[in-house]
Structure 1
Amino acid sequence: MTPPRIVVGLTGSIGMGKSTVAAMFADLGVPVFDADAVVHALQGPGGRIVPAIEAAFPGTTGASGVDRPTLSAAVLNDDAAMRRLEAIVHPAVGEERARFFADRIDAPIVVLDIPLLFETGGDGRVDKVVVVSASSDVQRARVLARAGMSAAKFESILARQMPDAQKRARADFVIATDVPLEQTRSAVARVVACLAPREGR
């Protein structure tokens, strides 16, 4: 299967505004594969990996699919448990990504929205990497405003993610979200314009 001509990996640490930037790419007509949304569907009501997760982590699923807070508590700070979960989730996401490529074989550019792009080695499977970034103060304020989030949980999540400075250093493009929204939107448009000239190659 031949992937679309330019595959862009979109990533950024928690609270950096990646979903907002992904929506901006979509608004410009660029197909976006949202790994988080795919995981939610796979783990939701009738999701095809729900039985495997229940078998590996008894009591973490129900009629509504995976109980995310319960599953999160079961794997947080437990590397072995996290690896068991990843062994279930990652192959299923890979299959959905293959379908996404097959359905958009003629798209000149596609975006893969993958939170742990660097951490999982996914940057080696894309042509360009876009990192979404904001100041640590803005990031912290955004995340701690989320329901069910605590400072301890935030720090635990951060510990599993590559530091923002390292991500920015490895990026082909960095898009800031701690600036006015239109400035971020313009930055996304510049990335698309930069990549579009390769369309006929």
Structure 2
Amino acid sequence: MIVLGLTGSIGMGKSTVARMFADEGVPVFDADKAVRRLQGPEGALVTAIEAAFPGSTGPDGVKRDVLAERVLTDRSILKQLEAIVHPAVGEARQAFLAEHANALLVVLDVPLLFETGGDAHVDKVAVVSADADVQRIRTLARPDMTPEKFARILIHQMPDAEKRKRADFVIPTDVDIEETREAVRRIIACLRTDGDS
């Protein structure tokens, strides 16, 4: 099995690219989705997060906007939250890998792959990238996003240029969508060939 780490900064189109891998029959582990499940109604982490950050949860689980505001303004809070969340996501990832043990290729979709050292646990890394202006326009079009919040998020993410330097593959998303899809298909073909050799 070849494990491909898929990453990219906010607004780069990573979710779209992850769906393209899935459309091609590649099993995809979505770290964000795992976190939402763990933090959702009756999620396994809700009690621990409420204990660490009183007032950050409710009947629907973790109040992501409330917690995000705290995390984005205080790095020590982010570290504390990561200590709760990362082990649980790691368990979910291991269960996914076990479930797909016979696959030639799997994708781990992890937004902060480099920032959390996750690149040490994959065979190859693909970075989803777009022009900074395109990234900004996409991100600011999201509900409840402001230029100030966008700037605070970027502080916690490795710069796109650095991610691209460290990547084995770069997938552009500021091009025609079929070009992006072709880039995904080329990576799959390349890695499946490597896996067969």
Band of TM-score, shorter chain:
over 0.9
Match of 1:71? Answer: 67
- Aligned-residue sequence identity (percent) comes to 64
| Structure 1: runs of 5 or more not aligned | none
Deviation string, structure 1 residues 68-99 (Cα, Å, up to 9, x no partner): 11111122220111111000000000000010
Deviation string, structure 1 residues 146-192 (Cα, Å, up to 9, x no partner): 00000000000001100000000111000000001001000000000
Deviation string, structure 1 residues 45-76 (Cα, Å, up to 9, x no partner): 01000000000000110110001111111222
Greater shift, 191-200 or 126-135, is seen at 191-200
Match of 1:142? Answer: 138
Q: Does 1:56 align with 2:52?
A: yes
Match of 1:33? Answer: 29
2-structure distance, mates of 1:168, 1:88: 29
The amino acid of 2:111's aligned partner reads P
After TM superposition, list the pairs within 5 Å mapping 1:168-183 onto structure 2: 168-183=164-179
- Displacement of 1:198 in angstroms is 2.6
The amino acid of 1:125's aligned partner reads H
Match of 1:101 among 97, 100, 103: 97
So what's the TM-score if we normalise by structure 1? 0.97
Q: Does 1:155 align with 2:155?
A: no
2-structure distance, mates of 1:82, 1:199: 37
1-structure distance, mates of 2:5, 2:61: 28
2-structure distance, mates of 1:75, 1:55: 16
So what's the TM-score if we normalise by structure 2? 0.98
2-structure distance, mates of 1:19, 1:54: 29
Q: CA RMSD in A?
A: 0.7
Match of 2:9? Answer: 13
Q: Does 1:44 align with 2:33?
A: no
**SS at 1:179's partner residue?**
coil
Deviation string, structure 1 residues 86-132 (Cα, Å, up to 9, x no partner): 00000000000010011011011000000000001111111000000
The amino acid of 1:122's aligned partner reads G
1-structure distance, mates of 2:70, 2:194: 46
1-structure distance, mates of 2:96, 2:157: 26
Number of residue-to-residue matches in the alignment: 197
Greater shift, 45-54 or 65-74, is seen at 65-74
**SS at 1:161's partner residue?**
coil
**SS at 2:73's partner residue?**
coil
**SS at 1:33's partner residue?**
strand
| Structure 2: runs of 5 or more not aligned | none
**SS at 2:181's partner residue?**
helix
